[in-house]
Structure formats: structure tokens, C-alpha cells
Amino acid sequence: MDDSGRGAGSDAGSRRKDARRNRQTLLEAAATVFVASGVEAPVRDIAAEAGVGMGTIYRHFPTRADLVIAVYRHQVDACAEAGPVLLAAGPTPHAALGRWVDHFVDFLVTKHGLASALQNDNAGFETLHAYFLDRLVPVCAQLLAAATAAGEIRTDLDALHLMHGIGNLCIGADTDPHYDARRLVALLIAGLRQPC
């Protein structure tokens, strides 16, 4: 095993305030740039978006792959935490589901880029995919259950299959600019509605 701490970033609990803040800023800037320009975006672009020097980025994430992995985990966590929040905030569970799926779609861009970031590391990819499932399937299931309990949606689709379908709809979204994955996903969610 040579990938100790892979994907965790080196200094998640640093003593210095600016270091902690920069790490957070970088994760968010990278996520933004990945969605806007794809996961192949140059490291310099991410540093610029974050308003930070190259040294800073490499201090926090020793390698480009480390950054992609850290963004991925960060997005998984953010997406998982967003579920209950949206559910509490939204007018209805179905609306909350719709907005949660928007987060999910943005984040899939990063996930699809993982494959190229971890070209030879199938084991690492499997680990991260497992983390993805462990954290997000329950959240999605919770949203589905709430919408079901409210009588808003049909009940013949479980969280795993829904997420799988959304994931498939997003394949190729980064290469073909005419392909609007979000619209198709929105249709899919609309189609979940219980016919009344």
C-alpha cells in the first residue's frame, strides 16, 4: 500500500486559520472550474479562480489527482448533507428531491472525471465509488421515502436505480455541448410524479 491518506488532502486540520480557509476555498473553486471547463482544466485555472498561488494549491494537494479526489469526496459530503436540509426547507418532498438532484448532476461531472484522474488505480476508484454509494444512496432513499409518504410520487423505483439512471443520463454531457443532461434529468424527476 503506497497511497496512505489518498484523497484526504494533507492538512485537513491545520493549526493556521488561513490554511484551513484556503483549503476550503480551493475545494470550492475547483468544483466550480470542473463544472465550467471539465475535469481536465489546468491547475493554474483553479488557482486563479481561488485567487491563490500555485504553491498553495500544491501544498494542500500534492498532485493533480489528489485534488480531484478531494473535490470528489467534498462533493459527496456536501451532497449528502444537502439532502436533509433541502427536505426541511422545500415546500414539498418532491420539490426537495428535484433540487437535490440538481446538486447531484453537477457533482457527477467530477465523478466522471475521476476515471481519467485515477487511470491505473482501479482499487482507488472502487474505494471512492463505494464511498459514493454508502453516503448518497441513503440520502436519496430518504428523499424518495418522504415524497412517497406524501403521496407525491410513484413507488416503483428505488434510490439506487434512480441514481443509476441519472448517472447514465449524464454520460457524455461534458463532450457534447448540445446535450443537455439537466433537462433530461428534470424530465425524469417530473415523470416520477404520481398521476392524480
Partner DNA sequence: TGCAAAGCGGAACGCTGTTCCGTATTGTTA
Partner DNA sequence: TAACAATACGGAACAGCGTTCCGCTTTGCA
Residue 157 in grid coordinates: 423505483
The site string for DNA over 87-126 (x = CB under 7 A, - otherwise) reads: ----------------------------------------
Taking CB under 7 A as the criterion, the residue among 2, 4, 17, 88 binding DNA is 17
CB 66, min distance to DNA, A = 8
Q: Is the CB of 68 or the CB of 146 nearer to DNA?
A: 68
| C-alpha closest to that of 61 among 48, 47, 51 | 47
* Contact flag: residue 22 with DNA (CB under 7 A): yes
CB 63, min distance to DNA, A = 4
* Contact flag: residue 65 with DNA (CB under 7 A): yes
* Contact flag: residue 11 with DNA (CB under 7 A): yes
CB 75, min distance to DNA, A = 19
How many C-beta neighbours within 10 Å does residue 179 have?
A: 14
Cα separation, 38 vs 33, whole angstroms: 7
* Contact flag: residue 172 with DNA (CB under 7 A): no
Cα separation, 58 vs 54, whole angstroms: 6
CB 65, min distance to DNA, A = 7
CB 35, min distance to DNA, A = 16
* Contact flag: residue 157 with DNA (CB under 7 A): no
Compute the residue count for the chain: 196
The answer to whether 132 and 111 have CB atoms below 8 angstroms apart is yes
* Contact flag: residue 18 with DNA (CB under 7 A): yes
Q: Which of residues 29-58 bind DNA (CB under 7 A)?
A: 40-44, 51-56, 58
Q: Is the CB of 25 or the CB of 127 nearer to DNA?
A: 25
Residues binding DNA (CB under 7 A): 11, 14-19, 22, 40-44, 51-56, 58-60, 62-65
